[in-house]
Structure 1
Amino acid sequence: MAEGRRGNNLDAVKRHNLSTVLSLVHRRDASSRAELTRATGLNRSTTAALVNELAGRRLVETSAPDANARVGRPSPLVAANPDVVALAVNPEVDAVTVGVVGLDGTVHEVERHETAAIPAARDAVSIAADMIARLAFRRAGPKQGARRVVGVGVAVPGLVRESDGVVRLAPHLKWTDERFAAELAEATGLSVWAANDANLGANAEHLFGAGRGVTEMVYVNGGASGIGAGVISAASPLTGISGYAGELGHTLVNSGGRRCHCGAVGCLETEVSQRALLDVLGWKAADAGELEEALTGGKANGAVRREVDRQLASLAVALRNATNVFNPQLIVLGGFLRALVSAAPGRLDELVVAEALSVSAESVRIAPAELGTELLMIGAAELAFRALIADPAEWKG
């Protein structure tokens, strides 16, 4: 829902107006009721009634106005209730991660269960279900009641059919046509939605991170399972007819390159990889912060710098193509790509501007992701919050 969505004072569209107000509260820090009135175009009494109904459903909380406000009548502050939560799940090649995310965007808890091998889908379901059982209804704090769970969102490193959450293909996980969402729903008794991890990351950065206020954006993330991307067009996720859009990691950047998991040759994720950076450093593993420190510090010897230059050149080819095809305002880089770019400041920008069509490149900006390790938790939770925000009048929690 766009920030500029307008409300309607007719009683017949009360559900629409409830959704409008809750969406605004969800995507902002605490807002005054007066600010919500201006943003929706509703009158003050209608806004007050909507806020009161949402508060009665315990979806929002109201508090006293800012004592320092000097202009006009003080207006109560309205914020999303952090005890209304969604569970977020991210299966990866080496772990299953589960997080608890509040309706206010706060990530309350994250637990990572490492696996000795790539988890089969049924094993990932079992691990996630056990973690959800521990986390879901834990008390939110000494003064609050138990958490109220909206549902579960799953961020999958692969192609997920949007209509039913079936993982059609996740090459790194070696999953094909797995009913992951349905099986996790059966195991937990909760509603479950699933989508591609990079598409969810793109939406999270657009709503809460580097892409706030941007209508045209490409998000590219690098991780242990390869490279994924998501596109925001006209302020909405561009998913394709089945939810498979944004596979920038499988675009050709080197016709003489290595064969990829997908069967093609020279894909971006075979030429730009975290594993290759770790190998040249002589490391088995590292988190994003450790990798960035190594690439920008004293460990960046000649071999490291050459590998960084090689990967940046390949990444620039992909981003040139994305710039020419999507004409974005912003390209956001997450995961190990942040570390890669930090190793040679300004170099990627130079390459993309030099190689892309000049009229497309003149308006694009490249920036690091802002949400860090919480990105996929926030993105996956949005899947579960989406139905609630669309029709809060149906909320029975």
Structure 2
Amino acid sequence: MPPKSRTSAAAKGGTQEDVRRHNLGTVLQHLHLAGPLTRAELTARMGLNRSTIAALVSELVVLGAVREERPAGSQTGAGRPSLVVRPADDHLQVLAADVGVDRVVVALVGLGGRVVARRRRRLTSGSPASVASLIRRLVDAVLTDPAAGEHILGLGVSVPGVIRHSDGCVRFAPNLGWVDAPFGDLLAQQLGGMPVSVGNDADLGILAEHRRGAARGYDDVVFIAGEVGVGGGLIVGGAPLVGAGGYAGELGHVLVHPQGRPCRCGARGCWETEIGGPAIARALGLGSVTTEDLVEAMRRAAAEGSTALDGVAHHVGLGLATIVNIINPRLVIIGGLLRELFPSNAAAVRASLDAAALTATAEQVSLVTPELGGDAVLVGASELAWQDVLDDPAGTLRRNRRLAPTRTMSATMSATVTAS
């Protein structure tokens, strides 16, 4: 969704300073989401006069958030084109981490959303403390990349589990074996007090796709994150649906087969037991395999025209029917491992959905895969880390300048590792 202008509820009724801070953040959000824009384009988007836009842009330049340049091929003199305002993605950056059941990815992401560097490691030990330590080492490694800037504003982390938003505590992540793990605190300790935000993988997937991908312009969307387990991210009426404690969206635990397999949550016949990674591996005649190997096996099956995954596809559609009846979305984005299954099994998924859902809700929904591909959750984690600076650029960046330089912090950590 495009950022709101000065007329939004956040700016109405506030002090002059509140309005200025809101407008400064809105300018930066436009640039973060749309990329370089001219001053004239910012003026048109925000409905402010040229002098106000010029003052806001000038403040962002001083803060080091943006740069101004003349359009390529332009000439000086009367009638010259409006200056282009460009996010300083080589100067302001955040870290993003995507924790899976058998791997961790850490990326460096510049203002504007470009992934400038990444490192990946397989998980050999899955305790919260060991994963926090691995993320620290991958952060240390990614900060040695030549693309790393001088100002790293924070870390956003995706975890496949139920997350308490207030402190990043992982209340329950059955496929990792975590219960009430203080993961946000562990990471903050590892990273010397760097701001850390932790979110659910599906919530972050829908955040990224809503801002930058297939869900742009949609107000009612469901994102399915299908890996070993299955989670859901929800946008309803244009806003995230997170629930009273931030725990909404555990769609993988919708009951689809009462006499089915036991789920790691303690129930039986949950949706993820029929469509998660282990179910896909069983359908393909495989044992315990890594995510990468399972993806390759799915691609081979699709290329060969195999029907081995027809049963999984049927249950994907069956679970979606319940979700479509309850949420009535216009768009369902099928991500994670399921984005590999869907293209070659789209007809079977759709047929199962249409057979089980109400006609009125089924006829309104479209099924797609993430526009951001396998990076949807990782990009969402970076968006979580950007939120403070987008809400209050001046306050956040001035606080950041009082922190120790990023490279100095990195040098005090353990020796860097080479990612596999």
Identify whether the pair has TM-score above 0.5, normalized to the shorter chain. Answer: yes
The one of 105, 122, 127 aligned to 2:113: 105
Assess, with a 3 A threshold, how the Cα gap between structure 1 residues 286 and 182 changes in structure 2: closer, same or farther: closer
The one of 81, 89, 93 aligned to 1:82: 89
Matched, 1:3 2:2: yes
Cα offset, 1:373, TM superposition:
2.4
Matched, 1:358 2:366: no
Cα offset, 1:290, TM superposition:
2.5
What one-letter code is carried by the residue in structure 2 that aligns with 1:382? E
Cα offset, 1:4, TM superposition:
5.3
Give distance in 1, aligned partners of 2:297 and 2:151.
38
Runs (5+) with no aligned partner, structure 1:
none
Q: Residue 290 of structure 1 aligns with which residue? A: 296
Cα offset, 1:73, TM superposition:
6.1
What one-letter code is carried by the residue in structure 2 that aligns with 1:246? G
Q: Residue 176 of structure 1 aligns with which residue? A: 179
Q: Residue 94 of structure 1 aligns with which residue? A: 102
Q: Deviations over 1:139-181 (max 9, x none)?
A: 427xxxx331010111011001011111111111111111111
Give distance in 2, aligned partners of 1:333 and 1:80.
31
Q: Deviations over 1:109-136 (max 9, x none)?
A: 221121234x100111111112212323
Q: Residue 131 of structure 1 aligns with which residue? A: 138
Matched, 1:210 2:214: yes
Matches within 5 A, 1:365-384: 365-384=366-385
Contact 1:295 1:343 in 2 (8 A): no
Q: Deviations over 1:74-123 (max 9, x none)?
A: 22222222121111122222222211111110111221121234x10011
Q: Residue 39 of structure 1 aligns with which residue? A: 45
Matches within 5 A, 1:1-397: 2-3=1-2, 5-7=4-6, 11-12=16-17, 13-65=19-71, 67=73, 74-83=81-90, 84-117=92-125, 119-136=126-143, 138-140=145-147, 146-189=149-192, 190-223=194-227, 225-283=228-286, 284-285=289-290, 287=292, 290-298=296-304, 300-301=305-306, 305=307, 307-394=308-395, 395-396=397-398, 397=401
Give distance in 2, aligned partners of 1:47 and 1:37.
6
Contact 2:314 2:348 in 1 (8 A): no
Assess, with a 3 A threshold, how the Cα gap between structure 1 residues 169 and 96 changes in structure 2: closer, same or farther: same
Contact 1:159 1:244 in 2 (8 A): yes
Give distance in 1, aligned partners of 2:74 and 2:348.
46
Assess, with a 3 A threshold, how the Cα gap between structure 1 residues 340 and 128 changes in structure 2: closer, same or farther: same
Contact 1:101 1:381 in 2 (8 A): yes
Assess, with a 3 A threshold, how the Cα gap between structure 1 residues 31 and 291 changes in structure 2: closer, same or farther: farther
Give distance in 2, aligned partners of 1:253 and 1:60.
50
Cα offset, 1:62, TM superposition:
2.2
Question: 1:153 aligns to what SS in structure 2?
Answer: strand
What one-letter code is carried by the residue in structure 1 that aligns with 2:377? L
Q: Deviations over 1:31-73 (max 9, x none)?
A: 222121111111111111111111221112222225599xx86
Question: 1:255 aligns to what SS in structure 2?
Answer: coil
What one-letter code is carried by the residue in structure 2 that aligns with 1:43? N
Assess, with a 3 A threshold, how the Cα gap between structure 1 residues 259 and 68 changes in structure 2: closer, same or farther: farther
What one-letter code is carried by the residue in structure 2 that aligns with 1:375? A
Contact 2:96 2:106 in 1 (8 A): yes
Question: 2:345 aligns to what SS in structure 1?
Answer: coil
Question: 1:343 aligns to what SS in structure 2?
Answer: helix
Assess, with a 3 A threshold, how the Cα gap between structure 1 residues 137 and 7 changes in structure 2: closer, same or farther: farther
TM-score of the pair, normalised by structure 2: 0.86
Runs (5+) with no aligned partner, structure 2:
402-420
Give distance in 1, aligned partners of 2:16 and 2:291.
56
| Identity, % of aligned positions | 38
Number of equivalent positions:
383
TM-score of the pair, normalised by structure 1: 0.90
Relative to structure 2, which stretch is displaced further, 260-269 or 93-102? Answer: 93-102
Give distance in 1, aligned partners of 2:50 and 2:296.
51
Relative to structure 2, which stretch is displaced further, 23-32 or 130-139? Answer: 130-139
Q: Residue 407 of structure 2 aligns with which residue? A: none
